[in-house]
A and B are shown apart, each in its own frame.
Chain A
Amino acid sequence: MTTEISQDQNGEAENPTDALRLQLALLAEATGAASYAHSIPLNSKRCYCVGLDALIGCSNEELPLREDVVSWLCARAHREDVDSFVDGYRAFLDGGPSQFVGEVRVRHHLGRWLWVRVHATAAARDAQGRPTGVLGTIIDQTEIRALREREALFRVEIDHRAKNLLAAVQSMASLTVSVDTTPARFVVKLVDRIQALSRAHEHLADGRWLGASLRDLLHGELAILKPMLAARVLVEGEDVVLKPRAVQTLALILHELVVNSIQFGALSVPEGQVCISWSVAGPAENPRFCLSWTEANGPDMRLPTHRGFGTLMLERAVEHELGAVGHLQFASRGLHYSLTVPLTEFAAQGQPPRVGERDGASSPDLDSGG
């Protein structure tokens, strides 16, 4: 924009010309900002602003036609912001910085606070370098500041989640240590558990952190089985959407059951089978979700002498995380595990979020029985 506040013979700024008025009006229309021009010292005939009524929601009669626009704003500004804002503007008028940029909260006509950013530049200066004419814009920053605040909170939240996840993995490593585990075996166990945790997060991300399908979760955990082994796993139950909290816990306990079965249980012998089934039971006002893992034709299971990570997850973690009861039975011919949990703690409402075209309900790997 060309500066059209010219100076008269005494060095004072003349009225804004019609061309300037037009330019200010066009600027306000194009940007949604208010724009203003005035001479210094103030002269009622030399103040001009446009768009401020739309910005502040005031009437034409209230507009600052006889005073400095910034002073007018300051009279409506939040007391917490106004001092530093005025100091900056005063320094600009005293010939300090060549431009002024400041933000201040101003009361909207309807009562809410608006954050406005004021840009001002000297259109003309006296011999001492002080502005004798000022051009400026006033821009509503409320939404931008709210976005910035949300972004800052989002960054803190991401950092917080990352730290919590690291703390969980660190704890997982610590709890994986046992006296009878070699360093090499420790690494394998820990990496497998971290991968199970990672798969749980993938399911949650696919479901936009609203939940995940139980069958998708099972599909992921059983995917580590070779096809011959997977064919010996029977899955029975209508799909449910798990709550986000249940996803991580269930992924880890299913992982422990699968790995245990491959190493020591039914899937460690040629004729062994596993049935994973679930249903909803109990009164309508307090329904319970019951999941069972039943091994058959497997080796005799002995009560372990050491209660390790798997047992911790299957019995204590489910109670802590879901208010569930996890019951382990080391029976002859195979292990039996049952999980009983209030449905409200476990299942979310609605349809299971699907991952692409994958549909666990029709998966031949999961549904083919013994």
Chain B
Amino acid sequence: MGRQAQILIVEDDFLVAERMRQVLNEAGYAVTGVTRRTATARDIVERGNIDLVIVGMMLEVDVDGVRTATALHSLYGVRILITTGFPDHFVRQQMQDTAACDILRKPFSDRELLTAVEACCAKPAAPPPRH
């Protein structure tokens, strides 16, 4: 990825979202949005240039994070990193397309976050959107 990676955070908990934003900004990533609403996330991704969406698995406000992540990936081909307090096998059970997303278990350290984000961004670009 030649340019500064653009990241969107979709997370229910403000404290967790804000900490991720600060850690990623300090590491040189551009956090272009922080939201807890799926509709807002879709609007931001639709505008383009988002390289990675970090999605909390449980979003109280509208639909759950797995559905949000799956929809964002299938519609826009964007890379997804799911953060969750659930065990991996439980998350995989919920996901329709397990290859689409990486998983980061909560609570995670700054280093674990940055390693996971770096690994996601290093992946080849996702296939073109189906729509």
Contact = CB atoms under 8 A, between A and B. Distances in A.
A316 B18 CA distance: 9
B3 to A, nearest CB: 27
B15 A171 contact: yes
Given A156-B90, A171-B16, A166 B22 contact: no
Q: How large is the interface on A (under 10, 10 to 19, 20 to 34, 35 or more residues)?
A: 20 to 34
Interface in A304-320: 312-313, 316-317, 320
Interface in A242-294: 245, 249
Contacts, number: 68
Contact of A160 (B34, B35, B85): B85
Q: What DSSP secondary structure best describes chain B's contact surface?
A: mixed
B86 A167 contact: no
A167 B87 contact: no
Interface string A177-215: 000000000000000000000000000000000000000
B107 A160 contact: no
Interface string B73-100: 0000000000111110010000000000
Interface residues of B, number: 25
B18 A163 contact: no
B113 to A, nearest CB: 11
Interface in A199-246: 245
Nearest to A322: B14
A160 B15 contact: no
A151 B75 CA distance: 36
Contacts of B90: 156
Nearest to B60: A245
Interface string A152-166: 000010011111101
Given A175-B22, A321-B14, A156 B106 contact: no
A159 B19 contact: no
A166 B17 contact: no
B50 interface: no
B107 A166 contact: yes
Given A245-B60, A320-B34, A320-B36, A167 B85 contact: yes
Interface of A: 156, 159-164, 166-168, 170-172, 174-175, 245, 249, 312-313, 316-317, 320-321
Given A171-B19, A172-B15, A249-B14, 9 more contacts: A156-B86, A162-B85, A163-B105, A166-B106, A167-B85, A168-B13, A171-B16, A175-B15, A312-B18
